[in-house]
Amino acid sequence: KDHFDEFILAYQSKLGPVKWLEPNTSDVLANLNDKALIYPISFCIDCSETIFELGMEYKHLAKCDYDLISCPNDSDEFMKFILNSINSPLTRKTSC
C-alpha cells in the first residue's frame, strides 16, 4: 500500500519582494525526488491558487510524482461536516 513517510507544511502565493512564510512550496517541490501529494488545507473552495498555481504551475516545477487533492467545494460530505460542526454541543454558545 502506498504511504508517505513525511509530511511537510509549505506556503504559497508570495507577492512581491516582501518576506513571506517559509518554507515555500516551490522550494520544497524542487528538492523532492519521490512522491508529492498536495492538500491545500487553507482552502474550502477551489480558486486560482489551487487550480492554476498548485494544479498547473507547481506541477511543472515538481521533479516527482505529483498529485493535488481537490478542495471540498460543495460536496455533500463537506456540507454535512459543516452542519454537524454547527450543531455540535462543543460549538454552540451558551449564556454565561
Q: Give the confidence band of 91 by pLDDT, cuts at 50, 70, 90.
A: low
pLDDT in tens, 24-63: 998 999 888 888 899 998 899 999 999 999 999 999 888 8
What global pTM score does this model have?
0.71
What pLDDT is attached to residue 94?
Answer: 63
The percent of residues in the chain predicted with pLDDT above 70, rounded, is 90
Output the 3-class SS for 6-50: CCCCCECCCCCCCCCCCCEHHHHHHCCCCEEEECCCCCCCCCHHH
Kindly tell me if the per-residue pLDDT of 82 is higher than 70.
Answer: yes
Kindly tell me if the per-residue pLDDT of 6 is higher than 60.
Answer: yes
Q: Is 83 helix (H, G, I), strand (E, B) or coil?
A: helix
Q: Is 51 helix (H, G, I), strand (E, B) or coil?
A: helix
Write the CA distances from 85 to 54, 89, 90, 92, 94, integer angstroms.
28, 9, 8, 9, 15
Angle 52-5-67 from CA coordinates, rounded to 5° = 20
